[in-house]
Amino acid sequence: MLREFRRIVVSRTDRIGDVVLSLPVFASLKQCFAGSELIALVSDYTSDVASSFHAIDEVAAYDPSESFLTTVRRFRQLRADAILFLFPRFRLAAAAFVARIPVRVGTAYRWYSFLHNRKVYEHRKDSVKSEAEYNLSLAGALGCSAKVYDAKLEIDREALKGAKKFLVENGIGRFIAVHPGSGGSAADWSRENFRRLCSGIVSTAGVKIVVTGSAQDSEICAFVCGGNAGCINAAGAFSMREFIALLSLADSFVSNSTGPIHLAAAVGTHVVGLYPNNKPMTPVRWAPLTDRKVILTPADGSDELNKVSVEDVLHSLERLSVVKPA
């Protein structure tokens, strides 16, 4: 018989894609412990992602610049019976220990793993399965054997209005979203290739392109559009909730291995992802959780993404029935 927990904290304080690939943990825990409250401890940047998932009852935004004692007080205020560290960090493990959270689940392979009283003996660096699977192993340490691969995000109504307003104001009907940056999370396809891709889509398919990114990506997004009238530079144009809503309206989404590809998959949009082959960044571990995807890697087993051609990506969009061949 499973032990009951009143409140379970799941800590994932890194980036967007990591948080999305952690959502099945919440869905699985909710199935195993229906009466428990599930709290997501995430960075402020990803808090709107976490709050868009139905199985999360509460979101606690973590500030890494706060003092250690502040983090301890935060953990005490959460009144948790258990905490799962999906993204191991000494500071958080130590704060949970000092705050006396009774059950602390984490990896067995860090020098501070003595702070975890339920350990998972698994090396993620081997990258032999999905990050979602690695995350679910920690849920298993609470006795939860369910594996619910649900990562579907809910769309905020006001954010959807904002996204639709942007499309109307820019004369956009059908469109493909293209995201040329990666924030350094993986190897990148060149900006020149993204530019040729956008030009090819507009000329052969007749649909418009919305090039997305943060405000800091404005220059690369402008380059990718290259003055093409069918291409809209939307860098920095949306809040996180509006961005999620925009992706739900796209015919397809194309990007490097980066967080937004996971957001697009989580709202049901077709995705084409460009991935390197090396273990830390392999699609075996980091592909989005969807059947509506095409993942492209260099055929020679290297990490030189520019060995994936523009034609390869166009053909992938054809396979998804998003772009029709000329």
How confident is the model over 147-167, as pLDDT tens digits? 999 999 999 999 999 999 999
Query: Residues 126, 131, 136, 141: is their CA dihedral positive or negative?
Result: positive
Map 9-51 to HEC letters: EEECCCCHHHHHCCHHHHHHHHHHCCCCEEEEEEEHHHHHHHC
Residues with Cβ within 8 Å of residue 137, at least 6 apart in sequence: 120, 122
pLDDT mean over 271-277: 95
Q: What percent of the chain has pLDDT over 70?
A: 97
Average pLDDT, the chain: 94
C-alpha closest to that of 11 among 140, 131, 108, 138: 138
Sheet (strand 208-211) strand order: 231-233, 208-211, 175-179, 252-256, 270-274, 293-296
pLDDT, residue 326, reads 47
Res. 89: pLDDT tops 50: yes
pLDDT category of residue 187 using cuts at 50, 70 and 90:
confident
Distances (CA, A) of 151 to 18, 106, 147, 235: 12, 22, 12, 25
Cα pseudo-dihedral 283, 284, 288, 291, rounded to 10: 110
**pLDDT value for 3:** 74
pLDDT at 322: 62
Reduced to 3 DSSP states, what percent helix, strand and coil does the chain have, rounded to the nearest 5?
Answer: 40, 15, 40
How far CA 80 is from CA of 10, 104, 244, in Å, comes to 10, 10, 30
Q: What is the pLDDT of residue 321?
A: 64
Distance, CA of 287 to CA of 282 (rounded, Å): 8
Q: Taking the CA of residue 113 as centre, how many other CA atoms within 13 Å lie in the half-sphere pointing to its CB?
A: 11
Contact 43, 14 (CB under 8 A): yes
- Give the pLDDT score at 2: 65
Is a pLDDT exceeding 80 seen at residue 1? no
SS3 sequence, 205-252? HCCEEEECCCHHHHHHHHHHHCCCCCEEECCCCCCHHHHHHHHHHCCE
Indicate whether this model's pTM tops 0.75. yes
Helix (H, G, I), strand (E, B) or coil at 309: coil
Q: Above 50 in pLDDT, residue 84?
A: yes
Reported as a single tens digit per residue, the pLDDT across 18-73 is: 999 999 999 999 999 999 999 999 999 999 999 999 999 999 999 999 999 999 99
Dihedral-angle region of residue 226 (phi above 0 means left; psi in -120 to 50 means alpha; beta otherwise):
left
Concatenating the DSSP letter of every residue in 248-274 gives: HH-SEEEEESSHHHHHHHHTT-EEEEE
Domains recognised in the chain with CATH numbers: 7-140 (3.40.50.2000), 157-319 (3.40.50.2000)
